[in-house]
Amino acid sequence: MTAPAGAIVGIYVDLKACVDVGDVIETTSGRRYSVVAKRVQARGKHVGRQHLRVSVMAPDDPLPATGILHRIVWYQHGRGRR
């Protein structure tokens, strides 16, 4: 199910670049998310993974004047996940 514009959702990214509050995440489909909170994983299997709380942007929302646009690609999942 797709979250509506304005909804707050959680995603995580494994980027080398540091994502900050105010940055924008864009997927290959063109969907954009504005970062509202961030936590970096310090322990475990995925140290350095950035856990983000993001607000879903409407397609016609302008990019913020400050912040960076990060383009991401979702991981491929096996056929058994649904």
Residue 81 token pair: 């996940």
Confidence of residue 79 (pLDDT cuts 50, 70, 90): confident
Taking the domains of the chain in order of start, what are their residue ranges? Answer: 8-71
What's the pLDDT at 81? 56
d(CA 78, CA 21): 32
Residues 8-66: tens digit of each pLDDT:
999 999 999 999 999 999 999 999 999 999 999 999 999 999 999 999 999 999 988 88
Helix and strand numbers (H, E) in the chain are 0, 5
The model's pTM is 0.85
